[in-house]
Amino acid sequence: MRIGSCFPEPTSVRMLSVWLSPADGARLFHAALTAEDVGHAVVYGSSANTRLWWDLAPARALGYRPLDDSEPYAAKLVADQGELDPDNPAHACVGGHFVTDPPIWPH
Protein backbone atom coordinates (compact mmCIF):
# COMPACT_ATOMS: atom_id res chain seq x y z
CA MET A 1 0.00 0.00 0.00
CA ARG A 2 1.44 3.38 -1.05
CA ILE A 3 -0.22 5.89 1.26
CA GLY A 4 -0.55 9.49 0.14
CA SER A 5 -0.73 12.16 2.85
CA CYS A 6 -3.06 11.04 5.63
CA PHE A 7 -4.07 14.06 7.70
CA PRO A 8 -7.38 15.45 8.98
CA GLU A 9 -7.28 17.94 6.09
CA PRO A 10 -4.85 18.79 3.29
CA THR A 11 -2.29 21.45 4.21
CA SER A 12 -0.77 22.21 0.80
CA VAL A 13 -1.84 22.53 -2.82
CA ARG A 14 0.23 19.46 -3.67
CA MET A 15 -1.60 17.49 -1.00
CA LEU A 16 -4.90 18.12 -2.82
CA SER A 17 -3.79 15.37 -5.24
CA VAL A 18 -2.54 12.78 -2.75
CA TRP A 19 -4.64 13.39 0.37
CA LEU A 20 -6.09 10.40 2.23
CA SER A 21 -8.63 11.36 4.88
CA PRO A 22 -8.39 9.35 8.10
CA ALA A 23 -11.89 7.96 7.46
CA ASP A 24 -10.93 6.84 3.95
CA GLY A 25 -7.70 5.42 5.39
CA ALA A 26 -9.78 3.25 7.72
CA ARG A 27 -11.97 2.18 4.78
CA LEU A 28 -8.88 1.30 2.72
CA PHE A 29 -7.26 -0.80 5.44
CA HIS A 30 -10.56 -2.54 6.17
CA ALA A 31 -10.96 -3.40 2.48
CA ALA A 32 -7.37 -4.66 2.25
CA LEU A 33 -7.67 -6.78 5.38
CA THR A 34 -11.03 -8.32 4.51
CA ALA A 35 -10.61 -8.90 0.76
CA GLU A 36 -10.73 -12.56 -0.18
CA ASP A 37 -8.67 -14.52 -2.71
CA VAL A 38 -6.31 -11.64 -3.46
CA GLY A 39 -2.90 -13.22 -3.12
CA HIS A 40 -1.20 -9.85 -3.31
CA ALA A 41 -1.99 -6.40 -4.64
CA VAL A 42 -0.19 -3.10 -5.01
CA VAL A 43 -2.52 -0.19 -4.32
CA TYR A 44 -2.37 3.56 -3.78
CA GLY A 45 -4.04 5.02 -0.71
CA SER A 46 -5.85 8.23 -1.51
CA SER A 47 -9.28 9.71 -1.10
CA ALA A 48 -11.54 10.33 -4.10
CA ASN A 49 -9.82 13.63 -4.82
CA THR A 50 -10.86 15.70 -7.83
CA ARG A 51 -7.14 16.36 -8.51
CA LEU A 52 -6.13 12.73 -7.90
CA TRP A 53 -2.82 11.64 -9.47
CA TRP A 54 -3.24 7.90 -8.95
CA ASP A 55 -5.43 5.14 -10.31
CA LEU A 56 -7.53 3.74 -7.49
CA ALA A 57 -8.85 0.80 -9.55
CA PRO A 58 -6.63 -1.78 -7.80
CA ALA A 59 -7.82 -0.56 -4.39
CA ARG A 60 -11.43 -0.50 -5.59
CA ALA A 61 -10.98 -4.13 -6.70
CA LEU A 62 -10.36 -4.94 -3.02
CA GLY A 63 -13.65 -3.27 -2.09
CA TYR A 64 -12.28 0.18 -1.20
CA ARG A 65 -14.85 2.93 -1.65
CA PRO A 66 -13.38 6.35 -0.80
CA LEU A 67 -15.94 8.97 0.17
CA ASP A 68 -13.90 12.11 0.81
CA ASP A 69 -12.48 14.67 -1.63
CA SER A 70 -9.85 17.34 -0.96
CA GLU A 71 -11.47 19.84 -3.32
CA PRO A 72 -13.47 21.68 -0.61
CA TYR A 73 -10.07 22.81 0.77
CA ALA A 74 -8.69 23.87 -2.63
CA ALA A 75 -9.82 27.50 -2.86
CA LYS A 76 -8.16 28.55 0.40
CA LEU A 77 -4.97 26.58 -0.24
CA VAL A 78 -4.60 27.92 -3.79
CA ALA A 79 -5.32 31.48 -2.61
CA ASP A 80 -2.65 31.15 0.09
CA GLN A 81 -0.02 29.15 -1.82
CA GLY A 82 -0.77 29.53 -5.53
CA GLU A 83 -1.12 26.72 -8.05
CA LEU A 84 1.57 24.07 -8.41
CA ASP A 85 4.35 24.57 -10.94
CA PRO A 86 4.21 21.47 -13.18
CA ASP A 87 7.87 22.03 -14.13
CA ASN A 88 8.99 21.75 -10.49
CA PRO A 89 9.77 18.09 -9.70
CA ALA A 90 8.92 18.69 -6.04
CA HIS A 91 5.39 19.57 -7.17
CA ALA A 92 4.95 17.04 -9.97
CA CYS A 93 6.61 13.86 -8.66
CA VAL A 94 5.27 11.38 -6.14
CA GLY A 95 8.34 11.89 -3.94
CA GLY A 96 7.56 15.58 -3.41
CA HIS A 97 10.37 17.60 -1.85
CA PHE A 98 12.46 14.43 -1.46
CA VAL A 99 13.00 14.56 -5.23
CA THR A 100 14.80 17.91 -5.02
CA ASP A 101 16.24 18.00 -1.49
CA PRO A 102 19.89 17.00 -1.15
CA PRO A 103 20.52 13.50 0.22
CA ILE A 104 20.63 13.21 4.00
CA TRP A 105 22.75 10.04 4.01
CA PRO A 106 26.51 9.95 3.48
CA HIS A 107 27.62 8.98 0.00
Asked if residue 103 belongs to a domain, the reply is no
Asked if residue 45 belongs to a domain, the reply is yes
Identify the pLDDT of residue 89. 76
Asked if residue 91 belongs to a domain, the reply is no
Q: What is the pTM of this model?
A: 0.85
Asked if residue 95 belongs to a domain, the reply is no
pLDDT beyond 70 at 85: yes
Asked if residue 58 belongs to a domain, the reply is yes
Model pLDDT for residues 8-45, shown as the tens digit of each residue = 999 999 999 999 999 999 999 999 999 999 989 999 99
Q: Give me Rg for the CA atoms of the chain.
A: 15
| Domains: count for the chain | 1
Query: What is the average pLDDT across 45-55?
Result: 96
Exposed, middle or buried: residue 89 (CB in 10 Å: 0-12, 13-18, 19+)? Answer: middle
Identify the pLDDT of residue 107. 62
Neighbours of 46 (CB within 10 A): 29
Average per-residue pLDDT for the chain? 92
Question: In terms of residue numbers, what domain contains 7?
Answer: 2-81
Asked if residue 105 belongs to a domain, the reply is no
Asked if residue 96 belongs to a domain, the reply is no
Query: What is the average pLDDT across 48-71?
Result: 97
Q: Bridge-partner residues for 78, per DSSP?
A: none
Identify the pLDDT of residue 79. 98
Asked if residue 22 belongs to a domain, the reply is yes
